[in-house]
Amino acid sequence: MTEVAFHFNAPDRLGYACRLVRKAVGAGAKVVVTGEQHWLSQLDVALWTFAPLEFLPHSHDASPAVTTASPVVLAQSPRISPHQQVLVNLGGPVPEGFERFERLIEVVTQDEDDRQGARRRWKHYADRGYSITRHDLGTREAG
């Protein structure tokens, strides 16, 4: 069963997603990031520029061969992705096909609309028996 984790109070959705993806890829994981198209387009740019001395290889709207070879895939529909290890959701609805991934990480900002959407997704997973882990990023930064 998919491990579900919510990372709440992310001060910067894209910056946090970049660090999260870098950590997962550094640990050898294949990652799919899903969300609304405007977030994926911005993340595509951010993955090229977030750290001056490193680049995270990724694909966005690429051919199937490139997508399969990329450790990070940016996709509005994770159902068609070749990877099944880690799925990062940048918000919006419950990701289609999330249950085929080993891990799902929900990135939630401090924005009230984002938090309301996260509550609905939490309820969706909980109602289906998924165990959920909560990480409060605000507490980490305060401490």
Residue-wise pLDDT tens digits, 99-110: 999 999 999 999
Contact in structure between 87 and 29 (CB atoms under 8 Å): no
DSSP three-state, residue 11: coil
Cβ atoms < 10 Å from Cβ of 60: 20
Residue-wise pLDDT tens digits, 2-55: 999 999 999 999 999 999 999 999 999 999 999 999 999 999 999 988 877 777
Does this model's pTM top 0.85? My answer is yes
The per-residue pLDDT for 140 is 58
The per-residue pLDDT for 32 is 97
DSSP three-state, residue 122: helix
Cβ atoms < 10 Å from Cβ of 51: 13
Cβ atoms < 10 Å from Cβ of 135: 15
Residue with the two structure tokens 């969300």: 35
Sorted by where each starts, the structural domains of the chain and their CATH numbers stand as 3-105+113-138 (3.40.50.10110)
